[in-house]
Structure 1
Amino acid sequence: MSLTNKRILLIISGGIAAYKALDLIRRLRERGARVTPVMTKAAEEFITPLAVGALSAAHVHCDLFDRQDEHDVGHIRLARETDAVVVAPATAERMAKLAAGFADDLAAAVLLATRAPVLMAPAMNPAMWDHPATRRNAERLRQDGVAFVGPATGEMAESGEAGVGRMAEPLEIVAALEALLAEPAAKPLAGSHAVVTSGPTHEPIDPVRYIANRSSGRQGHAVAAALSELGARVTLVSGPVSIADPQGVEVRRVETARQMLEAVEAALPADIAVFVAAVADWRVTQEAEAKIKKAGEGAPVLTLAENPDILATIGHGANRPAVVVGFAAETNDLMANALKKLEKKGADMIVANDVSVGTGVMGGGSNTVHLLTREGVEDWPVMTKDEVARKLAERFAIMLAEKAGR
Structure 2
Amino acid sequence: MDPASTDLVDEILQDRLVHSVFQPLVDLDTESIVGYEALARGPQGPLATPDSLFAAARRSGRLQELDELCRHSAITGATAAGINAPLTLFVNVEPEALDLESLAKLLPLTDTTGRGPQLVLEITERALAFQPAELFRAVQRLREAGWRIALDDVGADDLSLAFMPLLRPDVIKLDMQLVQSRPDAAIAQIMNAVNAYAEQSGCLLLAEGIETRQHLAIARSVGAQVGQGWLFGRPTGTVSLDQGGTLLPLPEPAPTTTHPSPFSYLPAAARLRESTKPLLVQVSKHLERQAERLGSSCLLLSTFQQGHHFGHATADRYRKLAGTVGFVGALGAGVTPDPGSRVRGADLPPGDPILQEWDVIVLAPHFAGALLARDLHTEEVDDRERTFAFALTYDRDVVEHAARTLMSRIQPTR
Query: Would you call these one fold, judging by a TM-score over 0.5?
Result: no
TM-score, normalised to structure 1's length? 0.32
| TM-score (structure 2 length as normaliser) | 0.31
Query: RCO greater where, 1 or 2, for CA within 8 Å and sep 6 or more?
Result: 2
Between structures 1 and 2, the one with greater helix share: 2
